[in-house]
Structure 1
């Protein structure tokens, strides 16, 4: 399965107080390059983000953006009790009751009137909560960009497979016709000899020797075989789970080399014309390979 290096993913996670939103974008790159734009309060999470991206991807230029927003327009208040102060108040009230023989019991209502034993604080997410929000949003964003890269990879694979099969078909046609190229040369050679010999008898052995030399010089059997092997190996890469971009680039170079050799060795117009078409298709495939992980 091919994976494109171009993709986009986002993730969100929130608590009662905060919302974290992460966006990740990637484009093609020879290696793995990561940059991040994080608020100062979350700079400590940059290393974690880089580690997770390295675990999931091997190539591409990644940009990570993170926003931390408040979920409330007014801060949420929390009430804390100053237990030591409350205990002192109750102790003093009991002493007053005993000293002055006061009637009645000390009630919750009495204690509630002692305002300074209650401390009002703005609620805050602790570090572990922010950490959980970040990990959740990051996981979602990575999953989304992975799916995005796979989806585009499917489109690239479909187009690339068709082009490779067309090239394989063209190479196969050259293979099937290569014997006819030799016969055509033999006919042209004999016709040329007839025109220039002016009735002079030419030794048939010399003609056959010339044909053999031409056959050896223009033989493209090995080039055809290697090109077909490279094309078949290229098709097998579509089934691999590991990144194959670099392998594909290697095979494109090798196929292109074999096609150039065929074109230079053969004097056939068919081979020359086919080589031009195949090289144009290889260039289109090469452009697509640059975006394959």
Structure 2
């Protein structure tokens, strides 16, 4: 089944402890390129996170964005009770030495340096977060692949229609091709008769036939038509393949252009050229669609 390189998928998880949201999207690229934006806790697991993408996608630029937030309520500061006791004892000793009866205020002690320390968050379980991220990534990846498959089906339908149009044009070209030599024969005889009128020169039929045969050989496009039909058959078979086919279709389209250009150079006929231009236009549209195929 044909697959597009364009798609989008997302997945989300939330409980009392954390929240994670994953988005993955892909756009066209001749090769596979992954651009990951990960939270700090997952920075060291980039290869493990990207592995499912590399296993399921062959071509395209993949943009992966993972947002993770811990919902645990943790104090920003903690009380240094050891330092508080140390200050209290020190001030009481000084009071005794000075004979002071002033009470030591807890509020005043709280303002002294070192009483409050910056809190340290409890270490997060990186393995559990990694496991969650891979699970959600696979869910989002499946959604994106489903979208790529639907778009690929539409691309295949469009290319198949253009292939059928080219085949119908080739039938017209095949019917027209023999008439080109016949019309040239008539023009050649009429022109020769006009040029030799009033002279004693006679042009033998053998000379005319030889000239007509050379022209017919030079304008014969039978071989190119057969090769182009063969490429169209290969294109149809490729569209039905389950393997990634974008590069193969691109190659087939190049060969189709090659045969059509050769026919254009050989076709000494305005009607044939018009039909061949229509064929080239359809091939160009197929090539544009091939840019979107994985």
- Shorter-chain TM-score: what band? 0.7 to 0.9
Deviation track 1:213-247 (CA, whole Å, cap 9, x = no partner) reads 11111111111111111111111111101111111
Task: Look up the match of 1:186.
Answer: 185
User: 1:173 aligned to 2:175?
Assistant: no
Q: How far off is 1:292 after superposition?
A: 0.7
User: 1:211 aligned to 2:215?
Assistant: no
- The list of structure 1 runs, each at least 4 consecutive aligned residues, that deviate by more than 6 angstroms after superposition, is 122-125
Task: Look up the match of 1:31.
Answer: 31
Structure 1 Cα separation of the partners of residues 248 and 279 of structure 2 = 19
Structure 2 Cα separation of the partners of residues 215 and 290 of structure 1 = 39
Q: How far off is 1:11 after superposition?
A: 1.4
Contact preservation (8 Å) 1:13, 1:136: no
Deviation track 1:240-287 (CA, whole Å, cap 9, x = no partner) reads 011111111111111111111111112011221112111122212111
Relative to structure 2, which stretch is displaced further, 172-181 or 51-60? 172-181
Structure 2 Cα separation of the partners of residues 172 and 43 of structure 1 = 60
Task: Look up the match of 1:257.
Answer: 258
Provide the aligned length of Structure 1 versus Structure 2.
248
TM-score by length of 2: 0.79
Contact preservation (8 Å) 2:264, 2:273: yes
Structure 2 Cα separation of the partners of residues 234 and 281 of structure 1 = 14
Structure 2 Cα separation of the partners of residues 44 and 144 of structure 1 = 26
- Aligned Cα root-mean-square deviation (Å): 2.1
Contact preservation (8 Å) 1:28, 1:290: yes
Contact preservation (8 Å) 1:14, 1:133: no
Task: Look up the match of 1:10.
Answer: 10
TM-score by length of 1: 0.79
Deviation track 1:24-66 (CA, whole Å, cap 9, x = no partner) reads 1111001100111111112133211221111000000111000
Structure 2 Cα separation of the partners of residues 143 and 188 of structure 1 = 66
